[in-house]
Amino acid sequence: MEPDQVVREFTHQSESFNRAPVMRSADTLGRLVDLIPAAPGERWLDAACGPGLVARGLAPRVGEVHGVDMTPAMVEVARREAAAEGIGNATFSVGDATALDVADAAFDGAVTRFSLHHIPVPGRVVEELARVVRPGGAIVVGDHVTSPDGGEAAWHEEIERLRDPSHWACLPPARLRALGERAGLVLEREEEIPISIDFEEWIARGSGGPGSAGLIARALAERVPAPDVFRVVDRGDGRRLELRYWIGVWRRA
Ligand SMILES: C[S@@+](CC[C@H](N)C(=O)[O-])C[C@H]1O[C@@H](n2cnc3c(N)ncnc32)[C@H](O)[C@@H]1O
């Protein structure tokens, strides 16, 4: 996605993203932080860190964590929230995850969550994370995934882009695995977890969603049953969007 489009969308979402329950939940944040193989004293990078939820979650377990994000408003929220929480070992800066201004092997490990689907060259991000992590260090990616079926994936992407114009493309797990392999990484562990989001909150948070609600409703009605990578259900507690969230933990050789 155009950098300007990303910055516009995430300036719009900086506060609401930070507050969104799904972004702080045990499934999306707790599980990822638990799987990060960090050790006390280590230096970690959180790429495309947004409001620093992952960096702040990781801070108690490491020596130091640095978050980088392209959207200045997100970096401001990350700094403010880290200070409010009394976190003294997290720093944040504005930067591009596809071309990090960081020396080779500068970190013990790197993580990125919910970012690759906004980036037209996700492989470049994984290669950058591999470059800035020392040999033997870990690279962790968490993102929601799409179907390996081209028709289902195209339908899914149309809805995502109607709701958030900075959305580029979710990948199926096999393509995420291939990105790590291409960067020379060894996959140590992976998990695929079903996650559930308040559908109305999700629509309201995206800058395109409220204006595109009619088109989104039509797209949803056109594919019944919906694939399990993107399904809107009502089990009596309001409409929920069910997605599949993939976490991969790689090691740099
Ligand atoms: C959905 S948010 C995820 C934020 C955070 N990783 C989290 O999971 O809480 C996506 C973030 O990626 C950032 N982003 C998108 N493309 C980027 C790039 N090329 N370099 C750095 N940040 C980028 C956006 O500014 C936004 O803050």
- CATH code: domain of residue 76: 3.40.50.150
Kindly state the helix (H) or strand (E) to which residue 176 belongs, with its residue range: helix 173-182
Q: What domain range is 46 assigned to?
A: 3-148+164-196+244-252
**Residue 223 falls inside a structural domain:** no
Count of structural domains, the chain: 1
**Residue 101 falls inside a structural domain:** yes
**Residue 15 falls inside a structural domain:** yes
CB proximity list for 223: less than 8 A, separation 6 or greater? 152, 155
**Residue 106 falls inside a structural domain:** yes
Distance 66 CA to ligand 1 centre (A): 14
- Comparing CA positions, the residue from 168, 178, 182, 54 lying closest to residue 116 is 168
Residue identified by tokens 């740099």 is 252
**Residue 80 falls inside a structural domain:** yes
**Residue 217 falls inside a structural domain:** no
**Residue 185 falls inside a structural domain:** yes
pLDDT in tens, 216-227: 999 999 999 999
Q: Rounded to whole angstroms, how far apart are CA atoms 71 and 87?
A: 21
How far is the first Cα of the chain from the last one, in angstroms, to the nearest whole number?
Answer: 31
Percent of the chain with pLDDT over 70: 99
Q: How sure is the predictor about 1, in pLDDT bands with cuts at 50, 70 and 90?
A: low
Return the pLDDT at 134: 98
**Residue 222 falls inside a structural domain:** no
pLDDT tops 90 at residue 22: no
Pocket lining for ligand 1, CB < 6 angstroms: 6, 10, 23, 48-50, 53-54, 69-71, 74, 96-98, 113-115, 118-119
Distance 225 CA to ligand 1 centre (A): 31
What is the pTM (predicted TM-score) of this model? 0.96
